[in-house]
Amino acid sequence: SSWWKHVEPAPKDPILGVTEAFLADPNPDKVNVGVGAYRDDNGKPVVLDCVREAERRIAGNMNMEYLPMGGSNKMVEETLKLAYGDDSDLIKDKRIAAVQALSGTGACRLFADFQKRFSPDSQIYIPVPTWSNHHNIWRDANVPQRTFHYYHPESKGLDFASLMDDVKNAPNGSFFLLHACAHNPTGVDPTEEQWKEISYQFKVKGHFAFFDMAYQGFASGDPERDAKSIRIFLEDGHLIGCSQSYAKNMGLYGQRVGCLSLVCEDEKQAVAVKSQLQQIARPMYSNPPVHGALVVSTILSDPDLKQVWLKEVKGMADRIIGMRSALKENIEKLGSPLSWEHITKQIGMFCYSGMTPEQVDRLTNEFHIYMTRNGRISMAGVTTGNVEYLAKAIHEVTK
Ligand code: PMP
- Cβ 62 vs Cβ 48: under 8 Å: no
pLDDT score, position 60: 86
- Nearest CA residue ID for atom 7, ligand 1: 214
User: How far is 346 from 351, CA to CA, in rounded Å?
Assistant: 6
Q: pTM here? A: 0.96
Q: How many residues does the chain have?
A: 399
pLDDT per residue as tens digits for the range 126-184: 999 999 999 999 999 999 999 999 999 999 999 999 999 999 999 999 999 999 999 99
pLDDT score, position 372: 92
Reduced to 3 states (helix: H, G, I; strand: E, B; else coil), residue 68 is coil
pLDDT score, position 1: 74
- Cβ 360 vs Cβ 303: under 8 Å: no
pLDDT per residue as tens digits for the range 203-239: 999 999 999 999 999 999 999 999 999 999 999 999 9
pLDDT per residue as tens digits for the range 331-373: 999 999 999 999 999 999 999 999 999 999 999 999 999 999 9
Q: Is the CB of 103 under 6 A from ligand 1?
A: yes
Residues 6+ apart with CB under 8 A from 285: 102
Q: Is the CB of 330 under 6 A from ligand 1?
A: no
Does the model's ipTM exceed the 0.90 cut? yes
User: How far is 162 from 155, CA to CA, in rounded Å?
Assistant: 13
| Among the listed residues 383, 387, 359, 389, the one whose alpha carbon sits nearest the alpha carbon of residue 372 | 359
Report the relative pairing of strands 208-213 and 241-245 from DSSP bridges.
parallel
Q: Sorting pLDDT into bands at 50, 70 and 90, what band is 377?
A: very high
Neighbours of 14 (CB within 10 A): 14
Distance from Cα 49 to the centre of ligand 1, integer Å: 22
Distance from Cα 247 to the centre of ligand 1, integer Å: 8
pLDDT per residue as tens digits for the range 289-326: 999 999 999 999 999 999 999 999 999 999 999 999 99
Instruction: Say whether the peptide bond before residue 289 is cis (omega within 30 degrees of 0).
Output: no
Q: Which of 131, 195, 309, 340 is catalytic?
A: 131
Residue 250 to residues 80, 84, 103, Cα–Cα distance (Å): 15, 18, 12
Q: Is the CB of 350 under 6 A from ligand 1?
A: no
Q: Is the CB of 247 under 6 A from ligand 1?
A: yes
User: How far is 66 from 72, CA to CA, in rounded Å?
Assistant: 10
| Among the listed residues 17, 41, 21, the one whose alpha carbon sits nearest the alpha carbon of residue 30 | 21
